Structure 1
Amino acid sequence: MAKITFITSDNETITLEGTSGSVMELAVNNNVKGIDGDCGGVCSCATCHVHVAPEDFAKTGGPEELENDMLEFDDLTNEYSRLSCQLQISEALDGIVLKVAK
């Protein structure tokens, strides 16, 4: 099980627990504001963009080519940007903090 903390654009902090699936699914299923997942998690819309806390970036690693291509279309990217649909929940993500990009 992993505890994942989301910080919304309203600075609301939401900590959720998950055991499987994507981080995007966890956020959508729990109505985290700003995580829409319009494409259903197939890395084609970037509506699940998050900024990984710098101290947690080693837990996620950087985006692969397809994800990086999608992020190029978003004006809010930074060096810690990831699409939460591409982050699979595992114990390795326990304690991670994600700032919702929009």
Structure 2
Amino acid sequence: MFDFDQCGYGWRAFEIAKFLHVALRVKIDITVRNSFIKGYQAIRKLSEAELTSIPVFVKAAHIWVMGISTNVVGDVLPYGWFTDEWLDQRLAMLRSLDESDNFIKLC
């Protein structure tokens, strides 16, 4: 579930946020998410700025995935898949990310 899939320059905190975004979408327990962060920090300590940026990057990752999905409607995904319900669910999750930064407990 953790993949530096862009293979380019970027913020490590964004890659971590992408993992956390997927973990939230598939409802992986917070203890697993915390273990991931602790394990990452055991190898490479995240700066305070990186830790602070993770909640913003989780939201950016959510919007990014929504954009990818909407971009492939008709080519990869059938038009019927992109419904008001789909958009409502994605926007509800985005709002929930805005209301609570509880995806990890930073130590």
Return the TM-score normalized by structure 1: 0.24
Which structure has more helix as a fraction of its residues? 2
Larger relative contact order (Cα-Cα within 8 Å, sequence gap ≥ 6):
1
- Larger radius of gyration between Structure 1 and Structure 2: 2
Which structure has more strand as a fraction of its residues? 1
